[in-house]
Structure 1
Amino acid sequence: MKKVKSTLLGLLMAGALVNPVQATTLNTEDSSANNVGQEKFRVYVEANSQSAKASAKAQYSARWELTDNGFSTEMNEKQFHALQKNKNITVTKVPVVKLDTINLEEDYTLENKEPDASIYARASQQVPWGIKAIYNNNSLTSTSGGSGINIAVLDTGVNTSHRDLANNVEQCKDFTTATPLVNNSCTDRNGHGTHVAGSALANGGSDRGGVYGVAPDADLWAYKVLTDSGSGYSDDIAAAIRHAADQATSTRTKTIINMSLGSSANNSLISSAVNYAYSKGVLVIAAAGNSGYSQGSIGYPGALPNAVAVAALENVQQNGTYRVADYSSRGYASTAGDYVIQQGDIEISAPGSAIYSTWHNGGYNTISGTSMASPHVSGLAAKIWAQNPSWSHTQLRSNLQTRAKAVDIKGGHGASTGDDYASGFGFARVQ
């Protein structure tokens, strides 16, 4: 993501442990000298043995245990420096991003290009252009499919009472509160998560007068991993990824994780969680990022080989195909053309610009970004998987790639015939 050196203009989220920045103070009201260094912040503690871990846990309350000998917790500056002197412990700050943060080089950002777009009180569109495009049917009046497949939306939460989503909700969990995991709570006061969920599986409501997503029969697992301002911690996100994978295993159900978020840096907690989920048979789909058409701009976790990175298409025709948006992040020309997914590659393209979907206030909104493209692919994956329940997640991924190859994208910077660094394999569609 681009480094910002002034007031934050977008919706942001933190979490990198690589070259961490100074953690933002959580208590900004008391600036007295007596409280200097007493404010608590999130850290990750990694011990060199189980006994060293147990000793550290006896002093600090563990939030998440994401590695064999590690756990996240909160402590103040004095405690942090004291623990740094322990030769059996490695402790790293997990940065907090707030709206007044200036150094965002290592921060996570919601892939939302137009957060200020207008909100509509009623559904003016039942089947938005992106849904018609992915179904390859301009006369489409409703959608279908996805039954028995879970789509875990890791985001700002979801308005689970929205008329177009209420019947799909199976899980609703909050990973952002002081209590690490709260069941039956996933309130979205931002809108981003509700919008993403709608594109994936909105069902038009009981009166069929609302908006439709790609797979309206799929089950929604709404996991709130970002706060209402769009900020969050990497350990919370990693914990949610692992939880979704464990839930898929325990319920013996097919699960897709959608993450419309990203970072310029590869975070070890999140990348390990993605690999864990993939090893459990979960398909991970992520936004490529909105860093523009320079090569090598794909964010993480989308850039990981075990995640499907999705580029954003505009409702514009160029060279006889849809056009990849200028803001959509790109891979590398040097690794294009081989139809092999490596780190930092775009895999699939989907509609992402001017996308109409559900909103947190019970209404609807039109916004743009690779965040909006990712749930189109998650919905498509759910629809295909429901039709082929015996498939593994790798077979499903291969099928998505095959469908993408059939609809080559040649519009936009870097787009060309075949596997390119702008659109990847192409535009995967229902038919």
Structure 2
Amino acid sequence: MAADVQSGQWYLSAMHADEMWKVSTGKGVKVAVVDTGVNADTPSLKGQVLADEVPQSVGFKATEDYDGHGTSMAELIAGNGAKGGLKGLAPGAKIVPYRLAMKDFNNESEKKKAPQLSAVIRAIADSDVKIISMSIGEDIERPEDLAAIKYAQIRGKLMFAATGNDAQEKNLIGYPAAYPYVVGVAASDESGTVGRFSEHGNYVDLASPGLDVPTWCDNTFRSYCTNQGTSQATAIASASAALIWSAHPDWTANQVLASLIDTAGRDWAKDNPSTYLGYGLIRPRKVLENADYDPVPANTDPLAKENATGVTDDKGASPSASTSSQPPKAASDGQTSAAGSSSKSAANTTTWMALGAAAAVLVIGGGAFAVFRTRRGA
């Protein structure tokens, strides 16, 4: 199992992980994984999860993953690869787990005890965690979540979230990716091609590997399956930020993000981001290999344009057009594995879903990660 799993992590070689690890492994950086919980006992996560640092008020069963999704994201970020498990892109980083109750989670008594996203984000904001990774999403904007995210931004946190996987059906505006100060991450394959499922709009900020990425098949943690989705892309983008922040511990969240945007692979104007790939494919190596990299001023918001303009989808529709008065719905499908299994996950009163998608692609990329060239999506 092990050799096959790690050999399937194509993005590690495409992103030149071995070269980056000579400079940074993410050591000293804590990443909060807000998801279905994180199983700290998988071989790849032993010693990597700081469960004791989760505040009791929002830490209900944080290390009991009822889906397998959160554990997969944690391994993609900081897995140590032990016994052939997933090797994280930032194996020196540490994971702080947070567990939300999804709609399809059937234990009603536990649902009532599970924290809301806004409370989780505020708790993380008051901790020494640097990065918040949210491979979750819904199509409804919630004032309490927005307020919590603004608070986390003031506290210097760098937040990543999946843009969503319903582009083939609805391409709805996805939250929390569409909130200001949150980096919306789209999914691409090895050739720089964005997944056909990957939702698009002006809230897409970066693209990251998200197709044909191994994750746990389910919550039995017996085997890995090949999956697709903006979830995986978000975890890998979060790990990329951890590598940079570890190498430059005095940088602010703005500076780390700005460096990722500045060095992203694209062949369109930097000030005219793609609605499919945002500012381009993440290339943390381009920052790490330059010891004299000069960051932007500490208080410069790299997403100021998006935050000032407001969020729209690729057709220019604003969140005000959303049917938020209707009962929220889960994604049409959760994560689809090579083994043919599938799962749906959405939150209790906040309707969150674990993000995955079918393996279809829309070619808008001109080259592979190896040469870091893409074309702008229309």
* TM-score category, normalised to shorter length: 0.5 to 0.7
Deviations 1:282-334 (A, max 9, x none): 1010001112168973301101121000000023x3xxxx10111000014xx
* 1:368-417 CA distance string (max 9 Å, x none): 1111100000000001000000001111111111121xx1179xxxx999
- Taking a change above 3 Å as real, the CA distance of residues 220 and 141 of structure 1, as seen in their structure-2 partners, is closer
Is the CA contact (8 Å cut-off) linking 2:69 and 2:216 kept in structure 1? no
Distance 2:181 2:45 in 1: 28
Unaligned runs of 5+ in 1: 1-120, 249-253, 333-344
Match 2:212 to one of 334, 354, 363: 354
Aligned to 1:88: none
Match of 1:163 among 16, 25, 43: 43
Q: 1:424 matched to which residue of 2?
A: 278
> Following the alignment from structure 2 to structure 1, what is the Cα–Cα distance between the partners of residues 53 and 3?
27
- Residue type of the partner of 1:323? T
Q: How does 1:130-209 map to 2 (within 5 A)?
A: 130-135=11-16, 145-171=25-51, 180-182=57-59, 185-205=62-82, 209=84
1:262 deviates by 1.1
Q: How does 1:290-305 map to 2 (within 5 A)?
A: 290-292=165-167, 297-305=172-180
Kept in 1, the 8 Å contact 2:137–2:162? The answer is yes
> 2:65, 2:71 within 8 Å by CA — same for their partners in 1?
yes
SS of the aligned residue for 2:180 comes to coil
Aligned to 2:197: 327
Cα distance change of structure 1 residues 182 and 153 upon mapping to structure 2, 3 Å threshold: closer
The CA deviation at 1:170 is 1.2
Using the aligned pairs only, state the percent identity: 31
1:430 partner amino acid: P
1:397 paired residue number:
257
Deviation at 1:280?
0.3
Aligned residues: 277
Residue pair 1:311, 1:373 contacting (<8 A) in 2 also: yes
Contact 1:189 1:228 in 2 (8 A): no
2:130 aligned counterpart, secondary structure = strand
Letter in 1 for 2:275: Y
Corresponding position: 1:214 with 2:214: no
CA 1:235 to 1:160, structure 2 compared with 1: closer, same or farther past 3 Å? closer
Amino acid aligned to 2:199: S
- 1:22-171 paired onto structure 2 within 5 Å: 122=2, 124-126=4-6, 128-135=9-16, 145-171=25-51
Q: Which has the larger radius of gyration?
A: 1
Contact 1:314 1:323 in 2 (8 A): yes
Give the whole-Å Cα distance in 1 for the aligned partners of 2:197 and 2:248.
34
Q: Note the aligned Cα RMSD (angstroms).
A: 3.3
> What's the CA shift string for 1:135-180, capped at 9, x where partnerless?
377x9999961101011000000110001011211126889xxx95
TM, length-normalised to structure 1: 0.58
* Shift in Å, 1:182: 4.1
Q: Distance in 2 between matches of 1:171 and 1:271?
A: 26
- How many Å apart are 1:184 and its aligned residue? 6.8
Larger proportion of helix: 2
Whether 1:381 and 2:238 are equivalent positions in the alignment is: no
- Looking at structure 1, the residues matched to 29 and 21 of structure 2 have their Cα atoms a distance apart, in angstroms, of 23
1:235/1:184 CA distance change after superposition, 3 Å: closer
Unaligned runs of 5+ in 2: 286-378
Q: CA distance change for structure 1 residues 282 and 228 in 2, over 3 Å: closer, same or farther?
A: same
Counterpart CA distance in 1 for 2:173 and 2:260 is: 20
Distance change >3 Å, CA 328–CA 172, structure 1 → 2: farther
Instruction: Please give the per-residue CA displacement for 1:93-126, whole angstroms capped at 9, x wherever unaligned.
Output: xxxxxxxxxxxxxxxxxxxxxxxxxxxx545132
2:153 aligns to what SS in structure 1? helix
Whether the 8 Å CA contact 2:24–2:247 is kept in 1: the answer is no
Does 2:249 match 1:372? no
Cα 1:353–1:409 change in 2 (3 A) is farther
How far apart are the structure 2 equivalents of 1:314 and 1:416? 21
CA distance in 1 between partners of 2:244 and 2:22 (Å): 17
Q: 1:187 to 1:172 in 2, by over 3 A?
A: farther
Q: How does 1:227-376 map to 2 (within 5 A)?
A: 227=102, 229=104, 236-248=116-128, 254-292=129-167, 297-315=172-190, 317=191, 322-332=192-202, 345-358=203-216, 360-362=219-221, 363-376=223-236
In structure 2, how many angstroms separate the alpha carbons of the residues matched to 1:313 and 1:243? Answer: 32
Q: Give how far 1:353 is off.
A: 1.2
The answer to whether the 8 Å contact 2:38/2:62 transfers is: no
8 Å Cα contact 1:351-1:376 kept in structure 2? yes
State the distance in 2 between where 1:217 and 1:141 align.
Answer: 9
TM-score norm. by structure 2 comes to: 0.66
- Give the direction of change, closer, same or farther, for the CA distance of 1:226–1:409 in structure 2 (3 Å limit): farther
Aligned-pair CA distance for 1:247: 1.4
Question: How big is the shift at 1:225?
Answer: 1.4
CA distance in 1, matches of 2:174, 2:135: 11
Cα distance change of structure 1 residues 220 and 429 upon mapping to structure 2, 3 Å threshold: same
> C-alpha deviations, 1:9-64, integer Å up to 9, x for none?
xxxxxxxxxxxxxxxxxxxxxxxxxxxxxxxxxxxxxxxxxxxxxxxxxxxxxxxx
